[in-house]
Amino acid sequence: MIQNSKVINCYSTGKIVPLGKGTTDFGGIAGTVGTGTEIRHCYFAGEVDLSQYTATTPYKRLGGIVGGVSSDTPVFENNYFIETENVTACSKYTEAGTAKSLEYMETEDFFNEITTAGGNYRFNSNGTPLLPAPKYAVSFVVTPAELANVVIKVNGQEVANPVDLETGTYTVEVSADNCEVFNLNITITADTATHTQTIAMTYLPADYTKVDGAIDKANALNKDNYKDFSAVEAAVKAVVRGKNIMEQSEVDKMAKAIEDAIAALEKKPASTKPGTSDKCPQTGDTSSLALWIVLLFTSGGAAIATTVVSRKKKYNR
């Protein structure tokens, strides 16, 4: 006897063989139910073999859902049973369930009926609906632990962590700030080892744009034009590749070191051409001074001679 109990989302596909004159309660889901019992979203898809049942019809203690009721207070909702001649859902509560053929119970239409208003089953394309597969709490351990804005998607749907998953294979996508998107197929089974999934995220690479620009600038210079080019060469040689975005400040310092070394360069003095001089005459250079005196007197003498000739012509008129 079932009393003060709930039977929800339950089914049976076995064979019932009631015996004798009907002195015992037989039912597809329960034999006898009593006060406070609820039977909801249940179905019996088995066979009722009446070949050895000698009770007279209508059967008082045989039902597709329940054989007998010990009180008038059970609750029945959305229950179904295999249609068998002279067998009702329950002799006292014929509305305890609805008779269906086995062929119909194996269709999607029946699945939609049994899952209405709280029924919880899986569609079975090869037979009657199945109970949901067991679910396991699957935890995702995402590293490094200090990552921000971690988003976990299972089969394209964002989920909480942990998430309840049935056995099976799932596509997992994990994203986080400053990280490459992680993709993996995981398989969940009853083995507890599969219920914890460790996800090791990879940081995005650092941006070397400034470094490359500074190196290009250094390569464009002719080191022979400078007194000492070694600081630039050392700064370029000190560049370390492969840093990640969390080490961006170090990469930026590499670029700055090259730029600073370039800015500190000193050019060599310009070379003079043969036969020319970039120096002014020195005060103690007497040969140059004598040359200037000769030119001065020569130009002065020419001016005096011109004046005398001019005066002679004036007086001869």
Parallel, antiparallel, or unpaired for β 182-188 and 168-175? antiparallel
Identify the pLDDT of residue 73: 80
Identify the pLDDT of residue 308: 41
The region that residue 117 occupies, defined by phi over 0 for left and psi between -120 and 50 for alpha, beta otherwise, is left
Sign of CA dihedral 106, 111, 113, 118: positive
Nearest to 141 by CA among 180, 197, 195: 197
Half-sphere exposure in the Cβ direction for 280 (13 Å, CA): 1
Cα(200)–Cα(22) distance, integer angstroms: 66
Q: Which residue ranges form the domains of the chain, and what is each CATH number?
A: 6-118 (no CATH), 135-200 (2.60.40), 209-263 (no CATH)
Identify the pLDDT of residue 275: 56
Identify the pLDDT of residue 303: 46
**Mean pLDDT (10-residue bins), the chain, 317 residues:** 85 94 93 91 96 94 94 90 95 93 97 94 95 94 96 97 96 98 97 97 98 98 96 98 97 98 95 56 51 51 44 43
Which two three-digit tokens encode residue 187? 């398989």
Cα(207)–Cα(107) distance, integer angstroms: 59
pTM of the model: 0.59
Identify the pLDDT of residue 273: 58
Q: What percent of the chain has pLDDT over 70?
A: 85
3-class secondary structure, 55? coil
Identify the pLDDT of residue 198: 97
Q: Which residues face 53 on adjacent strands?
A: 20
3-class secondary structure, 252? helix
Contact 6, 34 (CB under 8 A): no
Q: What is the DSSP string of 120-167?
A: --B--TTSS-BPPPPEEEEEEEEESTT-SS-EEEETTEE--SSEEEES
- The reply to whether omega before 18 is within 30° of 0 (cis) is no
Nearest to 70 by CA among 22, 34, 24, 28: 34
CA distances from 74 to 5, 6, 7, 96, 209 (A): 10, 10, 11, 9, 76
Cα(178)–Cα(189) distance, integer angstroms: 32
Q: Which residues face 12 on adjacent strands?
A: 44
The tens digit of pLDDT for each residue in 176-194 reads: 999 999 999 999 999 999 9
Identify the pLDDT of residue 312: 43
- The reply to whether omega before 74 is within 30° of 0 (cis) is no
